[in-house]
Every structure is written in C-alpha cells, then in structure tokens.
Amino acid sequence: MSADTVRRLVDGGKLAAERDGTGRRIIPGPVLAAHASNRPPMPVIEGVDP
C-alpha cells in the first residue's frame, strides 16, 4: 500500500492515525493489521506471480 493510499484512507476517516512530535502521521500496528485483514483478497491472475 502506498503512502498516498494510506493518506487518503486517513483523510477519509477509514483508517485511524495519530501525529508524532514532528507532525508525521503514525498508524498504530493493530489498526493497520485490522484494516489489512478486512480487505478482500487479491484476485489470482493466471500466469502472473504474486
């Protein structure tokens, strides 16, 4: 997942984030893991290795 995708998810309220002392977004590990486990699996495309 790209940094832009994560930013859009946070900005859209779909992923919780905190700010560190320098203002950078921090996504707690359990929050990110919960989001990842709720995503549908990637489709299998024949002839393409994951």
DSSP code per residue over 11-49: HTTSS--EE-TTS-EE--HHHHHHHHHTSPPPPP-TT--
Which positions of the chain have pLDDT values less than 50?
none
In the chain, where are the structural domains located? 3-37
Q: Which residues contact 30 (CB under 8 A, 6 or more apart)?
A: none
pLDDT of residue 21: 95
Three-state DSSP class for 11? helix
pLDDT at 50: 63
Residue 45: the pLDDT is 85
